[in-house]
Chains A and B, each alone.
Chain A
Amino acid sequence: MNLFIMYQLVALGMLGLGLYGMLLRRRLIGMLIGVELMLNGAGLSIVTTAQLTPASAQLGQLGTLLVMGLAAAEATLVLAIVIVIYRRFNTIEEQKISTLKG
């Protein structure tokens, strides 16, 4: 059990918890919190691989920076969509915002 595997297991724990949270939450913001947890796990995994293996450390750190930028863009858009949904349906529960009833 070396250091690399321990860091990767922490990242995988965040992935698992994020997936669990995303599937279980009823409200869109709760699902977004799950997604953020998963993205953080991914960033941690990338930095670990870059720093603790012979792979290019510089490239890994830059990749994580880009993941952070994408996460910020994604959070902005999701929250704008949440606000639009809230205006239209007055709720952000995913069960109640379906207008196409099957």
Chain B
Amino acid sequence: MTAAPPRPARRMTAGLAEGVWKLASAIATPVLPDDYLDMFAPLRAGAELRGRITAIHRETADAATIVITPGRSWAGHVPGQYVRIGIDVNGVRQWRAYSLTSLAGAPDGTIAITPKAIPDGVVSNHLVHNARPGTLVMLDQAIGDFTLPTPTPDKILFITGGSGITPVMGMLRNLPSAGADIVLLHSAPRAEDVVFAAELAERDRSGQIDLRVRHTDTDGMLDLADLDREVPDWRERQAWVCGPTGLLDAAELHWAANDLTDALHVERFRPTIIEPGEGGEITLLGSKLTIDADGATPILDAAEDAGVLMKSGCRMGICFGCVVTMRQGAVRDLRTGEITTAEPGDELPIQTCINAVAGSCDLEV
């Protein structure tokens, strides 16, 4: 595309704005004008993307919908996508990804996620049980390709388990009340565990979906071999599956066995599970080098043994001169035994002089 040259007036305004910003930066140094603006308008256009929790609705005993007003830089989302949110839990910023369950382009500009508190889930428990309206959270733009194509397929099969219903709910709320032929097979342990139970039943009654809910505590897990009986025309449907890893693996096998891989779309939230171990592989992303190290050797020393001189300082954990960014993996503090893990998508600064690899770790070196 050839862009028309900007009109002189526009160019002048742009130049002026840039000049004003430069001046403001020179006046605010060593901090940035943003640091002052953030005090008054954290959600303004051009600021780092944040959001403010405006409402919290309980869904089940351990699930809640968190309504967030995103900052002006929010670029919108496609139903089915997820958003990474960073929230301070007991003073520590934690990042997690949650499917968006809200109407895309809601009139009040809000978005919503519906986390389910999982055992030992630091963030999900905080969101469901402790978060309060008014809290500022960090956001990333929505991402994910677990979305419906345009035009919407005529025949759709959704298979969901537990909180796997959330991206599908995001899609249903954004679909017209009639049109596609949609079957939704949802599994949850018990009736009271079904998130959005009332709304799903209503959509079933109104004819938007054909809902079959399975209570796995009494009915057992869904066996995909039964699909022929449950949904005889499943082969003609585009399928979206979201739920526990076991369900996703089974679906991939089943669709592949029927030569229908193209018709299957799955959402995996945790492509890798970080399991801390003793020692392991240190991957230096910059130099594309992998080093094997034991669990008693600081990463800094392991790298030096392998001929890589990383930045270093006191070598006893006090000066923070050796801090590098861990992109994923786990490390163990040799002084305290404390484990620090980074999931894919995280950028976690760690001290290399007092941490040893615990399983594996990818470092930006």
Q: Are these two chains actual partners, yes or no? A: no
Interface residues of chain A, those whose CB is within 8 Å of chain B, are none
Interface residues of chain B, those whose CB is within 8 Å of chain A, are none
